[in-house]
Structure formats: structure tokens, C-alpha cells
Structure 1
Amino acid sequence: MTQAQTPRPQLFDRRALAAQRARLTPDSLFLHEIARDEIEDRLSLVNRSFTRPAVVAPFAEVWDSCLPNAKHVPDTDVLDLEVGAHDLVVHAMCLHWANDPVGQLIQCHRALSEDGLLLVLMFGGQTLHELRSALATAETRISGGLSPRIAPMGEVRDLGALLQRAGFALPVADVVPLTAKYRDLPHLMRELRGMGETNAMAQRRRTLAPRRLFQEAETIYRDTFADPDGRLPATFELICLTGWSPSDSQQKPLRPGSAKARLADALKVPETKLPK
């Protein structure tokens, strides 16, 4: 008799996330619009026409002008994607909320036809580092401990490795750093609520945070990060992941030792042997 499998712990409360997204303020979607523009720029550099695109995104309306014929897919745990049905999948601004990010990428891989393209835009590890630091310091001063308030986000190197784990060829990961400025901490918090990016961690504290916490956090934020004009900068790090569904027609890296010319000859410098 086999033992019952222990349910996998969930990092995020998807029901709370859905409730937050339902309170969307359209004017707060500027980061999603920047992500859309970034995807458009990257697609313009690919010498291919994509006729069967799909977009995995929380707010489908942002993508109508970019990929008007795309299938819009909510970022549920099980994606509504058919095997091999698409030559392009865009996973936009939601992988950082996935309880199983590798599983999401594997599902996208399965949905791609041979030599199909995946483009992912998501928040990376430096996102809101100023707010994270200010809240952590304030809560430590007030209560002597910490509670989960801002979700952990992956670093670009680790996220790039996920593409390989999911079976993608020619994986690339790069960063688009952005900085927005706010009058005060309430201004920043309102905008995060408006874009559905407030705390939806499963282990979050369910009681209301004391007003003193945010007052102390704003003081720390200003003392540590404020611009000379008194505005508060907030970092949003967009990470772009690019991968292709494997195909025999794609370029392959050469085997070690298969080069037909020496690098020293190409550079016109003497060859130096390394000590053993």
C-alpha cells in the first residue's frame, strides 16, 4: 500500500489574488503596458510571422492592440492551452504569482509547435526592494519580528535556468530596469492595489497592519531612498525570458574541440599555454 502524497505547500493564495485583480484600476496598468511594448519590440526583431499566438496574462485587454488574433488564457494553475496548437506563447506579468513556475513553463512548451517561440515578462528580484527594506526595518523596530508582506521574486540567473528545466532551446534571460516615483508611501500602495500586486501570500498575516507600521516605514523609506526633490523611487525589475521549442533546423552549439581555427590566430597574438 502506498502512502498518500502530502499536498504541495502553496506559496500564494490564488483566491486572494483574484479578488485583488477584480479591484483593478485601469490607470495603474502602466507596467503591463510597458511589458506589452517590450514584447512588441522583441517580436519586431524576429524574422518570423506568427499566425497562432496565445497570451497568458491576467488582463487580456492590454494585449488586444499587440496580438489582436491571440487566444487569451488566464494564468490558472492548469493553463487552457492545447498541445502543439501555437507558434507563439506570451506569458505576461504573472509568472511571479505562480505556485509552480516550472510547471507553467512546461505547459507553454507543450502548447508550442516545433520551432515555436516563448516570451515571458515578469517581475524580478529587485522589484520593490526599497519598500521591502523599509517595511522589514519598521516591523522589526515595532514588533521585534517579521511577517510575509512582499512576495519573493526570482533572480535573472535562476529564472533563465528554469527555461532549460522546462526543455526550451536557445534560452535567454535579460533585465529591463524601471523606476517610478511617488509622492509618499500611500501613493505607492494605492498604485500597487490598483494593479492587483499587493500581498497575496498564503502565509500572510490576516489582521490589519497597525498604522504606526506604515508611518515608520515611510520615515525609513525617505531617510534611505528619497530623491532630493522628496519623491520616493520604487524599482520595478522586468525580466524577459526567451526560449524556443526544439527543432532540427535550429542552430546547435559546436562540440568542444571541433573548432577549425585557433583563437590566437584570429586575434593575431601568440598562443600561451596554461600551466598544468
Structure 2
Amino acid sequence: MTQKNQVKKLFDRELIAKRLGKASIFQTAEGPDNFIADLMIADLKDRLSTITRTFEKALLLAPHPDFFAKDVHTAEGPVPFDHALTLPLEKAGEATVYDPNHLTLPCNDYDLIVSLADLQMLDDVPGFFAQAQRHLKPDGLCVVATLGGDSLTELRQAWLNADVAYSGGAYARVAPFIDIRDGGALLQRGGFALPVSDLEHHVVRYSHPIALMEELRRFGASNPLLERPKSFVTRSLLAKVVENYADQFTDEDGRCRATLDLLWLMGWTPHECQQKPMRPGSASKSLKDVLGDKSEKN
């Protein structure tokens, strides 16, 4: 018998948990805040508010309590979220923790599962969707928000140019993100119907590139890869990264910009009541009958 291929471990989730556990909130120029959590939660509320459905058993998974959403409503009423962490944070107290790489939940009849800000740090994304689908009842909804698209493309370019200049090669400095074109396929691969994926594009500005790097460290997104360079970053290399970033991505007012794309993925567990595409060849009229025969030239 041949064993199933083991999923390659890409992310150091112990390191991510250690970094996230150092602070319960993130510091911005305007004061203590977790603006990424604020963006995701506000967007989640907007998206669910348009759904004409009453959810009776809902679970929200997130790597940090800042992403726990309260006072969420659909068009039919409030969503009774249970909240659980996906990383064992020391400051989280007695919070329930589930491993999203090996998702084993207490129930298999949820009608809504939401994951915020964790998919970009998972080794087995298709496996997560497949496991989430098994914990949802028919016609249940899965909603995921993750960093994706061109997020942090400026930082990636600054590091790449600095590494090439200093060592002649490139190193894994910024984790890869899911492309929107792959979103629907991931949902379908996990067994979901009616998949929807879209991107919320944001440009965040900082007083200095180091301020961006510090915020990423507190967010747990500062190079969480297992195969990251093990040697310490020298002052000269870091100075070159900052120089590259400032030269290429600084606005006229002296603040540097960073791309932040929030990828949203939504899919429903299959149910007979859902709309289905027509079977090929089953149409009663052809397109020619509707539009007329355009084959003859005037």
C-alpha cells in the first residue's frame, strides 16, 4: 500500500503564536489599534447583513481574539457566534483552540463557519476547506477572509533587490499569498457549491518602512516561513531594504505605502434546494433562435 502524500510544512506556527502572544493589540500612528481586524470585521458584518438566512449554530475561527466579531446580523437577525482560536496564545486564557491544519470540531452540524486572518498561514489550504465542509450541515455557509493578492508586494520587491545586491540570490522573506483566480477552485476542491471570491484592495501608509516591519512582526506575518534564512539580518542589509523601500514607494508627503489585499472566499455545502447549472444540450432554444442568424453578410 502507498501512503498518502504528507502536506509539506511551510509555516512556523509556533513562531507566529509567540509573536502574536506578545501583544493583545497593535500600535498604529493614531494609537492602539488592530486596523486589519477592524477592516475584516466591518466587511464581514456588511457581507452577512445582506444574507436572508437565520444561522442558529455559527463558529468563528481566528488566530487572535482581536478578530472575534460581535453584534453580527444577517437580514433575518443576529448571528450567535461561538469563538475559537487557531493558535495557542498564552494571553488568551481558557479560550478554545482548534488546529486549522487538522480541523476537528465538536459538531458537524454548523450552519456557518467563518475564518478570519488565518488562511495565509496554513500549510494545507485545500485540506482546511474539505474539513470545514464536513463540519457544516447541508446548505451551510463557509466564509473566509485572508491576506491575498498583491499584499506586501512593495516589501517583497525591496527585500528581493537588497538580497540580489548583497548575495546575488533571492531568499524567502515574505510568505506567498493566495491569488483570487485560485479562490473559487479551492472552494470547489473542498466540496463547496456556489463559490464566490473577491478582493478588497487597500493601500496603507506608514511613516517609515521600519514601522511597517514592526507591525507585521506583531501581526505574526513577519516571515513566518519554516525555510526562512536562519542567519541574522545585518544592519547593512536592513539599511539597503529600507533604502529600496523608501526610494520606490514613498509618496510626496514622505510616508511610504503598502498594499493590503483582503481576499474573501464564500461557499455553500451542497443541497438539493440550491440552483444548479443547466445540463449541456438541455436548452429548449438555441442562441441563434434568440439573436437571429448573423452568418449572412449584408
- Structure-2-length-normalised TM-score: 0.84
Q: Which residue of 1 aligns with 2:145?
A: 121
Q: Which residue number in structure 2 is paired with residue 272 of structure 1?
A: 294
Aligned-pair CA distance for 1:73: 2.8
2:235, 2:41 → 1: CA distance? 36
Residues 1:110 and 2:134 are matched in the alignment: yes
Which of these residues, 79, 85, 89, is aligned with residue 74 of structure 1? 85
- From 25, 39, 45, the counterpart of 2:44: 39
What amino acid is aligned across from residue 248 of structure 1 in structure 2?
E
1:226 corresponds to:
250
Unaligned runs of 5+ in 1: none
Q: Report the Cα distance in structure 1 between the residues aligned to 2:49 and 2:288, rounded to whole angstroms.
A: 37
1:93 to 117, 120, 136: 117
Secondary structure at the aligned position of 2:245 is classed as helix
Out of 230, 236, 243, the position equivalent to 1:206 is 230
Alpha-carbon separation, structure 2, partners of 1:85 and 1:99: 25
* TM-aligned CA deviation for residue 218 of structure 1: 1.8
State the secondary structure of the residue aligned to 1:217: helix
- Structure 1 residues 7, 175: CA separation in 2 closer, same or farther (over 3 Å shift)? closer
Q: In 2, Cα distance between the equivalents of 1:84 and 1:155?
A: 29
1:49 to 1:7, Cα distance in 2 relative to 1, 3 A: closer
Q: 1:150 to 1:106 in 2, by over 3 A?
A: same
Q: 2:58 aligned with 1:53, yes or no?
A: yes
1:179 and 1:64 map into 2 onto residues whose CA distance is: 23
What is the CA-CA distance between 1:25 and the residue it aligns to? 4.8
Equivalent pair of 1:25/1:194 in contact (CA under 8 Å): no
1:223, CA displacement in angstroms?
2.0
State the alpha-carbon separation in 2 of the partners of residues 262 and 243 from structure 1. 31
Kindly provide the amino acid, as one letter, of the partner of residue 57 in structure 2. Answer: R
Q: CA deviation at 1:174?
A: 0.7
Pairwise CA distance, 1:9: 2.7
Give the Cα separation in 1 of the matches to 2:112 and 2:7: 30
- Distance in 2 of aligned mates of 1:30 and 1:174: 20
Give the deviation of 1:179 after TM superposition: 0.9
Match of 2:170 in 1: 146
Q: Which residue of 1 aligns with 2:23?
A: 24
State how far apart, in whole Å, the 2-side matches of 1:104 and 1:172 are: 17
Looking at structure 1, the residues matched to 125 and 4 of structure 2 have their Cα atoms a distance apart, in angstroms, of 21
Identity across the alignment (%)? 35
Letter in 2 for 1:35: M
C-alpha distance in structure 1 between counterparts of 2:295 and 2:44, whole Å: 45
SS at match of 1:214: helix
Give yes or no for contact 1:73–1:80 (8 Å, CA) kept in 2. Answer: no
Please report the RMSD computed on the Cα atoms of aligned residues, expressed in angstroms.
2.1
The letter for the 2-side match of 1:56 is L
Equivalenced residue count is 271
What are the ranges of 5 or more consecutive residues in structure 2 without an aligned counterpart?
28-33, 73-78, 87-98
